[in-house]
Amino acid sequence: MDESLRQESVLRPMKLSKSKSDESFESIFHEYWQSIHRLLARMVIDPAEAEDLALETFYRLYTYQPARYESVSIRGWLYKVATNLALQSIRSFKRREHYETHAGREALIVADEDSPPQIVAEKEDRDYVRMALGQMNARQAELLIMRYSGVAYKDIAAALNLSPTSIGPLLLRAEREFEQCYRMLVQEAEQ
């Protein structure tokens, strides 16, 4: 079992039946699909992989009911699983190698006459952002991704099993850590 599921101590196997829980699942799917898919599309470069990870996120909700749908923050739970899947993808050796070796190459590929320099720089910058998130402490990376994806503190707190009042200090620490990682990566690339 991977980390994202191991951390979910409240999860238990869901009784799969075509009943109220399925109707509830379908409505949750429709409500959150766009935001979860969008997050993964931002985090993972390959659109096909992003789509697959988004489907996997909902499959995990389908299989492992987090207690009862109505009693937990589904939004926070989905974002946490999606975030973990994205981070796993980024962290995997091949993937990281791909980012590292392709960050420059991708810039060259898209640096044709039709691509304004700022777009090229933006793409390269996002690659460094992804790499920095992948290098950080998992909990800090989760916090940053969830917050900057627009998840409210109370939902983040529920998903990460934290007190809502601790989110501010932890977020600030995570932002400082991120900035350090990011700058180190850029410096390494420039040398």
The residues in 17-56 that bind other proteins, with binding defined as CB under 8 A, are 17, 19, 26, 29-30, 33-34, 37-39, 41-43, 47, 51, 54-56
Residue selected from 108, 110, 172, 184 as contacting other proteins according to rule CB under 8 A: 172
Q: Which string of x and - marks every residue 56-95 that binds other proteins (by CB under 8 A)?
A: x-xx--xx--------------------------------
Q: Say whether residue 182 binds other proteins (CB under 8 A).
A: yes
Asked if residues 150 and 126 have their Cβ atoms less than 8 Å apart, the reply is no
Residues 6+ apart with CB under 8 A from 164: 153, 154, 157
Identify which of 8, 16, 13, 134 has the alpha carbon closest to the alpha carbon of residue 74. Answer: 8
* Structure tokens that stand for 180 in this block: 């350090």
Q: Report the residue number, 113 or 144, with the smaller CB distance to other proteins.
A: 144
Identify which of 36, 48, 46 has the alpha carbon closest to the alpha carbon of residue 159. Answer: 36
Gyration radius (Cα) of the chain, Å: 18
How does DSSP classify residue 150? T
How does DSSP classify residue 64? E
**Which range, of 66-74, 101-109, 113-121, 161-169, touches other proteins by CB under 8 A?**
161-169
Residues that bind other proteins in the complex, under the rule CB under 8 A: 12-17, 19, 26, 29-30, 33-34, 37-39, 41-43, 47, 51, 54-56, 58-59, 62-63, 125-126, 129, 144-145, 147-150, 152-153, 164-172, 175, 178-179, 182
